[in-house]
Chain A
C-alpha cells in the first residue's frame, strides 16, 4: 500500500548518520539495504523496497491533503533577466532532514512506542529527502505539512503503527519544523520574483516626517510656546496689591457661593450633603497676606528663608501675644496700629530696609512700602489716613502744573497707568453695604499673621466628592422595602411605564416567581469571586439574608436565575466587565465594552435635543432582547428572551444598580 507514497519522496540515505549541512540535490538513488527492525518494532514486509521514484506535484495533489497553489510562488530562474516575465520553474531535488526531526513531529499515539524510546535507535539519523518543489510551494503558507500516509512511505518501517491499525489517521497532516527544513534549502531558491516593481525612489528619498530633527524642531517650538505662555501669565498675574489698593471685586466670593448651593441631591441619602464652609475672616486675611508675600517674592523681594511662600509662616509668638489676643476680637475692618506694625518698617526703617535690599527690591514695591509706612505712622498719630495723593486746592491746578507733571512722571515710571484699576462703583441697589464690609475684611494684608492658641480647626469636609470617607458610624441605613412582593412596592414604581413595555402584565403568563427562584445560592455553590458583604440593602432587594456575604458574581448569578434571563453583565464606564454571567465569554466582554459607549452616545444625542440624559435603553429583538441600565458610572446589561421586560425585573435591577453605583463610587 505504501509503495505508491514512497515515490513521493526522494532518496533515503541510510548510511549517513550525521546531519548533512548542505543539501544534495542530485544524489544518486540507491537501493536501501534491508535492516533488521529494532527490537519490539514492526519490520518491513519481505521484499519491500524503500526507495523508489521521485515526487511529482500532481501526485501530491492527488493525495488529498496537500494542495499547493502553483500560482503563489513563481520562482525566478537563476539566469533570468530582471523584469522578465515569470514562469513556473520546475525545481528538482530534495531537502534532506534527519529522520529524528520527522519522528519528533509525529504524535506519540501514532508511534509504536514513545519518543524517548524510539529516538535512541540509530536509524533515526537516517536522512529523509523531502521534495524541494513541494517544500517551496509550502513555504509561503507558514507551515510545512505532509499527511501521515505520505510520511509512512518514506520513513523507516517499524516506528509508526501500521496504517491498517490507524486508518482514521492516514490523512492526518504532520507538521514538520519549518526552521529545520528552511535552513537546508539552498539560498538561491529563495530569491524574490524578478518582475517585482521596486519601491518608488521618491518615497525612499523623502525626509522622515518624524525624524529626530523634526522632533527637536517641534520641541523647540513647544518650548517657545511655553515661554510665551509663561510670560503672558506673568503679565496677567502681575501682583496687584502694591499698585491696586482695591482688588476686591475679584474676591467677592461669598456672594457667588449661593449660586452653587442648590446642587441636585442625587447622591445616596445615607450621607451628608457637601457642606461649604464659611470663610473665616481671620483665615481669609492670613491667606491674603500669604498671597501678598508670594507676589512680593515674585517681584524680587528677598524674604527670609523661613518664609514659606506657599503656606503662611508660623508667626513669632511674642511675649505679649496673650495680651494681643484681645485684638483678635477686633473687627478686621478696623485694624489697630499694633496690628499694622509688622508690615513694613516705619519712616527711617523703611528707608534702611530699602537701602539694604536695594539691588533686589522693586522700586514700585519700595514706593508702596514707603507710602504704607507713612499711612501707618499717620494712623498712629491720629491723623486721617491718606490713601490717595492730596489734590491741590481748587484753582491752583495751573500754577502747580509743572510740579504735578514732574510728580506724575515720576509716578508713571513706577506705576503703569493701565494697571491702575479704578475703585469699584457699586451698582444702584447692589450689595453696597456688604461690599464695603468685604472690602474692609479683605483689606487685611497689613494685619499680622497670627496663630492663636487653641484656634478651632476648620470643620473637616466630609462627604464631598467621595463617599468613602464617611465613617461607618455616620452611615444612615435607609429602610428599603422588599421588592419580591409586587404589592409592597412604593407607588412611584407603579407609575407609567415606557412605551417599550406596553403590556408588562404578559409576564404573568410565565413561570411564577417564588422564593425558590430567588433564593440565594447555597453555601456549597461554587462562587466566581470571593464573598464580600456588598451591602445589606442589596441583600434585601434580592430577598437574601441581610448578613449573607455575597459578591458581584452572586448578584449576577442570582439575576441569571430569573425566568427568561439568558445573561447579565455589570460593567464600569471604562467598558471592562465587573462581573458577567453570559454563556459566551467574548460576547460578555463585547457587551460590557460597547454598552457604556452606546448609552453615552444616545444620551449625548438626547441632550443635544434638549432632552434629559438616557438612563435606560431597551432593544427588543426577536430572540433575545437587550436592556441597558445606567446608574452613575455603572452599567447593567440584561439579556432577556422577551421583547418587553417585566416591570418588577426593571425595578429590582434599578434598585440594585443604584445601590451598587453608590458603593462603586
Chain B
C-alpha cells in the first residue's frame, strides 16, 4: 500500500520484481542502479549467496517528482526465485503496490516461468491481494539470447488474461528495456493513485 508522508511531502511506492530463479531480477536492479542519476537513487542493498543467488531480497530506492508538490519514492525489491524461499517471497510481497514479472525467454525455463507466475498469484492471495488489484507489467527478459521463445508464445502464455498488461522486451544484461519496464510500472502506479486521489477529492 502506498505510504504518503505529508510532512516530507513524499509518496512511497513499493515495486517487487518477481520471477523464476536466474531470470534476471537482480540484474534489473543493478542496471537501474548504475543507470540512474545518483541524486535519484539510494544504495543497492543485495543479500546474495556466494553464487550470486539472491538470498532474501535486493532493495533499491529511486525518487522522482511526478505528482506536483510530492516526491515519489519507488522502493524496488526483488525476491529469491528458488522455490524453497516461498516464505521470503510472501514477506517481500507484503504491502506491494506494483509488480514487474520477469520472464526468462529461454525455452527451457518456460515451465519455471509459468510456475513462478502461478506462485505469484498464490502468494498475492496469501496477502489478501489479487492480480486484478495490483498493477503489474511483464518483462520478457533475455531477448538477446539465441533462439528465444517467440513473443507470440509469451503473450499467449502470460498475457492472455482478462485485462491486458503492459509488456516489455528487455535484456537486463545489456540494460535494454530495463528503464522502459520501470517506467511502465511507475506509470501504472501513478495513474492508479492519481485516480484514487481524484476520486477522494471529488467525494470531499
Contact = CB atoms under 8 A, between A and B. Distances in A.
Interface string B53-89: 0011000001010100000101000000000100000
Contact of B164 (A187, A196, A576): A196
Contacts of B114: 140-143
B157 A206 contact: no
A80 interface: no
Contacts of B47: 575, 593
B156 A140 contact: yes
B149 interface: yes
B49 A142 contact: no
A200 B191 contact: yes
A202 B36 contact: no
Nearest to B66: A209
Given A142-B112, A182-B153, A218 B166 contact: no
Contacts of A209: 64, 66, 72, 74, 183, 186-187, 190
Interface string A211-234: 100110011011001000000000
A178 interface: yes
A139 B179 contact: no
A203 B188 contact: yes
Interface string B111-134: 111110000000000000000000
Contacts of A218: 37, 39-40, 64
B37 A219 contact: yes
Contact of B111 (A143, A193, A219): A143
A576 B49 CA distance: 7
B10 to A, nearest CB: 14
A403 to B, nearest CB: 55
Nearest to A226: B39
B37 A215 contact: yes
Chain B interface size, as a band, is 35 or more
A229 to B, nearest CB: 12
B107 interface: yes
B38 interface: yes
Interface in B153-183: 153, 155-157, 159-166, 179-180, 182-183
B107 A179 contact: yes
Nearest to B82: A586
Contacts of A48: none
Give the one of B149, B163, B187 with max A CB within 10 A: B187
Interface residues of A, number: 41
B156 A192 contact: yes
B110 interface: yes
A596 B87 CA distance: 19
Interface in B9-41: 36-40
A199 interface: yes
B186 A210 contact: yes
A95 B183 CA distance: 40
A546 to B, nearest CB: 32
Contact of B160 (A142, A192, A593): A192
Nearest to A193: B160
B152 A187 contact: yes
A197 interface: yes
A589 interface: yes
Nearest to A145: B111
Contacts of B191: 200, 202-203, 206
B119 to A, nearest CB: 13
Contacts of A206: 187, 190-191
Contacts of B152: 187, 190
A576 B53 CA distance: 12
Give the one of B72, B111, B147, B156 with max A CB within 10 A: B156
Contact of B39 (A178, A198, A219): A219
Interface of A: 73, 139-143, 177-179, 182-183, 187, 190, 192-193, 195-200, 202-203, 206, 208-211, 214-215, 218-219, 221-222, 225, 575-576, 586, 589-590, 593
